[in-house]
Amino acid sequence: MDALLVFLLLLVPLLLWTSSTFVFYFKKCFYVAYMMILAAIAIPLGILKSGGRDIENMRVIRALVRHVKYFLGLRFDVSGLEHLQTEGPYVIISNHQSSLDVLGLMEVLPDRCTMVAKKELVYAGTVGIVCWLGGIVFINRKKTRDAKSVMAGAAKTMLDDQIRLWVFPEGTRNQRGDLLPFKKGAFHLAVQAQVSHRAMCAPIIPIVFSSYSNFYLRKEKQFNSGTITLKILPKIETKGMTSDNVADLSDKSYDLMRSVFLDISGSAPVTQSNGPSLHH
């Protein structure tokens, strides 16, 4: 038994030094396991702090998660933080590449801000429980009517409780070197909020993560150290808009974020099979 332990203790560093595939799986497994452990710690802390499901528990989650990047060899180069100092409720939209986005999210997450996430996440063990405690809004992506109903309720809550919501408008993870077409939910959310509360409005604040392709390639099984550029853009006003403006609002946000993504990633545009108007 002792000999086996010594062998493993020698083998693991050797593989970390010589095998990029081993490094990929080692980091992935470490990330998932460590986040589950941190979530288990956050659960009782959140209950003690807020007594149950409360957006203030996001402070606890943020404090526990922000150091994880160092173990994975990641750094964030953040600009535009001043744009998150906007008073009152707003909707944050960002591109979505992998579960590593959570680390960037926690790097800049403003107070009284939670996320919109797929319903399946609530079943992810301790992570699912802590997401529920943090007030995350869960939607069923397979049932459009249910998702719209949840988003309408979220719009009312956003204004009533003066909270901010972070949405990934691509709707799924994407590592294709470009942005996927945006779904309209985030933009309906912002418009519905100001329609239901005429005296107030919920602007949109875009946040763009640079491409992970210089350090994280899922198909090639590579996970190196790297720096992620995270750019927070000025708010896009939604005052006076109705559902008729949602498509234009979505297109404007897409074009802006795609341009910034390609710029900070040093990428050339990816040719879309359906032509340049794919996102419309």
pLDDT tens string 25-41: 999 999 999 999 999 99
**Residue 143 has what pLDDT?**
67
Output the CA–CA distances (angstroms, integers) from residue 172 to 46, 67, 98, in the order listed. Answer: 28, 25, 9
Please check whether residue 41 lies inside any domain of the structure. yes
Please check whether residue 277 lies inside any domain of the structure. no
Average pLDDT, the chain: 86
> Degrees (nearest 5) of the Cα angle 20, 22, 24?
70
- Per the CB < 8 A criterion, the answer to whether 69 and 75 are in contact is yes
- Tell whether the model's pLDDT for residue 278 goes beyond 50: no
Please check whether residue 274 lies inside any domain of the structure. no
**Residue 104 has what pLDDT?**
96
Please check whether residue 3 lies inside any domain of the structure. no
Please check whether residue 104 lies inside any domain of the structure. yes
Please check whether residue 270 lies inside any domain of the structure. no
Query: By mean pLDDT, which of 67-76, 105-114, 194-203, 255-264 is the weakest?
Result: 194-203
Please check whether residue 200 lies inside any domain of the structure. yes
CATH number of the domain residue 23 falls in: 3.40.1130
Query: By mean pLDDT, which of 175-184, 196-205, 240-249, 261-270 is the weakest?
Result: 196-205
pTM: 0.88
Please check whether residue 272 lies inside any domain of the structure. no
For the chain, report the end-to-end CA distance as a whole number of angstroms. Answer: 62
User: Which residue segment(s) compose the domain that 145 sits in?
Assistant: 12-265
- Tell whether the model's pLDDT for residue 173 goes beyond 70: yes
**Residue 13 has what pLDDT?**
76
- Per the CB < 8 A criterion, the answer to whether 181 and 168 are in contact is no
Q: Domains in the chain: how many in total?
A: 1
- Tell whether the model's pLDDT for residue 277 goes beyond 70: no
- Best CA proximity match to 133, nearest among 69, 32, 41, 67: 41
